[in-house]
């Protein structure tokens, strides 16, 4: 418990964090959005912390939470250290409905890529600077964000055809230094032909 007390006080001093009163069992600090990236960089690289693994990003919607004040959404980040056993800390960022933006952590942790895509998918929170922000779990034609509290659980949405993914592949090729100069026929499909054969 030593470490968590220390890290909370450091985060409070350096990055204007505030201890989350609801987290009674582990160390959790609410960090202002603009300092999130710096705080995480500090946690990852500083020799006194060495939290080198981003375990989880959880979106939270406080719409129906009893007696809740403040912004509607929050994102909770769980960190852990693989070098020193037992070091864990959680950071929390509050996100208001008017400004659904959070800085991305993809440049610090590779695991942030899919975790952020999932939060974007389920809650509609936009991660600024994310290289490829698409839906992860739900299909491409899905409208809305299912884990928000105002999304009815049984509202079903059919999918007509699977995701195309070709633009993403080309993006991936270009990021590796390749340059696409000619596409084959099936890469530029006519819309009607492409839909033919799959369900309406």
Q: Choose between 13 and 158: whose C-beta lies nearer to another protein.
A: 158
Closest distance of CB 2 from another protein, Å: 15
Please tell me whether residue 195 binds another protein under the rule CB under 8 A.
no
Candidate list 28, 43, 95, 102; residue touching another protein; CB under 8 A: 28
Please tell me whether residue 47 binds another protein under the rule CB under 8 A.
no
Candidate list 25, 69, 98, 150; residue touching another protein; CB under 8 A: 25
- Neighbour count for residue 154 (Cβ, 10 Å): 4
Interacting positions 124-183 with another protein (CB under 8 A): 135-139, 146-147, 151-163, 165-166, 168-169, 172-173, 176-183
- Alpha-carbon distance of 199 to 159, in angstroms, equals 8
Take residue 62 and report the two structure tokens written for it.
């406080």
Residue 10: name the closest of 2, 111, 66, 186 by CA: 2
Closest distance of CB 81 from another protein, Å: 10
Quickly tell me which residue has 């208001």 as its tokens: 96
- In angstroms, the Cα distances linking 1 to 8, 24, 40, 90 are 11, 12, 20, 14
Closest distance of CB 179 from another protein, Å: 4
Closest distance of CB 142 from another protein, Å: 8
- Alpha-carbon distance of 164 to 188, in angstroms, equals 11
Q: Choose between 6 and 110: whose C-beta lies nearer to another protein.
A: 110
- Alpha-carbon distance of 56 to 149, in angstroms, equals 21
Closest distance of CB 79 from another protein, Å: 10
Q: Choose between 96 and 160: whose C-beta lies nearer to another protein.
A: 160
Take residue 105 and report the two structure tokens written for it.
């952590």
Closest distance of CB 53 from another protein, Å: 5
Interacting positions 57-116 with another protein (CB under 8 A): 58-61, 65-66, 76, 78, 80, 82, 85-86, 88, 90, 109-111, 113-115
**Would you call 186 helix, strand, or coil by DSSP?**
helix
Residue 80: name the closest of 111, 101, 106, 107 by CA: 111
């Amino acid at each position: 418990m030593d470490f968590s007390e220390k890290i909370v006080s450091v985060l409070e001093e350096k990055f204007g964090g505030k201890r989350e009163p609801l987290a009674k069992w582990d160390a959790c600090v609410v960090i202002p959005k603009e300092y999130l990236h710096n705080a995480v960089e500090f946690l990852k690289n500083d020799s006194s912390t060495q939290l080198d693994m981003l375990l989880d990003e959880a979106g939270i919607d406080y719409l129906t939470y009893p007696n809740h004040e403040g912004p509607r959404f929050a994102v909770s980040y769980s960190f852990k250290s693989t070098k020193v056993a037992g070091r864990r800390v959680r950071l929390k960022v509050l996100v208001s409905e008017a400004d659904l933006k959070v800085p991305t952590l993809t440049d610090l942790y590779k695991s942030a890529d899919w975790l952020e895509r999932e939060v974007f998918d389920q809650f509609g929170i936009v991660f600024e600077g994310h290289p490829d922000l698409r839906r992860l779990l739900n299909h491409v034609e899905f409208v809305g964000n299912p884990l928000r509290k105002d999304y009815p659980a049984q509202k079903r949405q059919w999918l007509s055809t699977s995701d195309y993914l070709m633009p993403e592949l080309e993006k991936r090729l270009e990021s590796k230094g390749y340059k696409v100069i000619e596409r084959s026929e099936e890469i530029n499909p006519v819309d009607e032909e492409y839909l033919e054969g799959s369900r309406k």
